[in-house]
């Protein structure tokens, strides 16, 4: 059962010439593994798959390893995908 849930924040991904947007809301199951959540987002933004191993994936502002870890999400939870930026 899907419901409007995590507002996921694309961190700095628009620099990575990927999604070109900052923030949007996604409906996902309330209980979902971190890897499934990532895959849901990649469905919307396929180019993110290119940098899967080069991002910090954070849920509620906390690092989450992509894998079997089960997340219990609350409406409005923020998911961030943070690639490193290197400019200075």
Partner 1 sequence: FPAELPPLPARSALSAAEILRYSRQLVLPELGVRGQLRLARSSVLVVGCGGLGCPLAQYLAAAGVGRLGLVDHDVVETSNLQRQVLHGEARRGRPKARSAAAALRRLNSAVQYVPYRGALRPRSALRLVRQYDIVADCSDNVPTRYLVSDACVLAGKPLVSGSALRLEGQLAVYNYRGGPCYRCLFPEPPPPDTVTNCADGGVLGVVTGIIGCMQALEVLKIASGMGSSFGGYMLMFDALEGRFRNIKLRPRKADCAVCGDNPSVTCLQDYEAFCGSSATDKCRALRLLPSGDRVSVQQYKELLDARVPHVLLDVRPQVEAEICRLQHALHIPLRSLEEKDEQALQRLQKRICEEKQRTDDQTPLPVYVVCKLGNDSQKAVKILQELPAEEFGSVLAKDIKGGLMAWATKIDSTFPQY
- Classify the C-alpha dihedral 19-58-1-40 as positive or negative: positive
Q: Count Cβ atoms within 10 A of the Cβ of residue 3 and give its class: 0-12 exposed, 13-18 middle, 19 or more buried.
A: exposed
Per CB under 8 A, which region of 12-20, 26-34, 35-43, 68-76 contacts partner 1?
12-20
Indicate the helix (H) or strand (E) that contains 44: helix 34-44
Assess 27 for contact with partner 1 (CB under 8 A): no
**Site for partner 1 (CB under 8 A): which residue of 4, 15, 43, 49?**
15
**62 versus 72: smaller Cβ distance to partner 1:** 62
- Binding residues (CB under 8 A) for partner 1: these are 11-12, 15-18, 20, 50-51, 53-54, 56, 58, 61-63, 65, 80, 82-88
């Amino acid at each position: 059962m899907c419901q409007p849930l995590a507002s996921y924040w694309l961190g700095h991904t628009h620099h990575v010439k990927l999604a070109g947007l900052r923030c949007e809301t996604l409906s996902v199951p309330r209980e979902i593994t971190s890897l499934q959540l990532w895959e849901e987002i990649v469905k919307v933004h396929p180019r993110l798959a290119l940098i899967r191993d080069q991002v910090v994936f954070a849920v509620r502002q906390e690092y989450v390893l992509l894998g079997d870890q089960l997340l219990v999400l609350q409406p409005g939870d923020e998911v961030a995908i943070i690639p490193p930026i290197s400019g200075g």
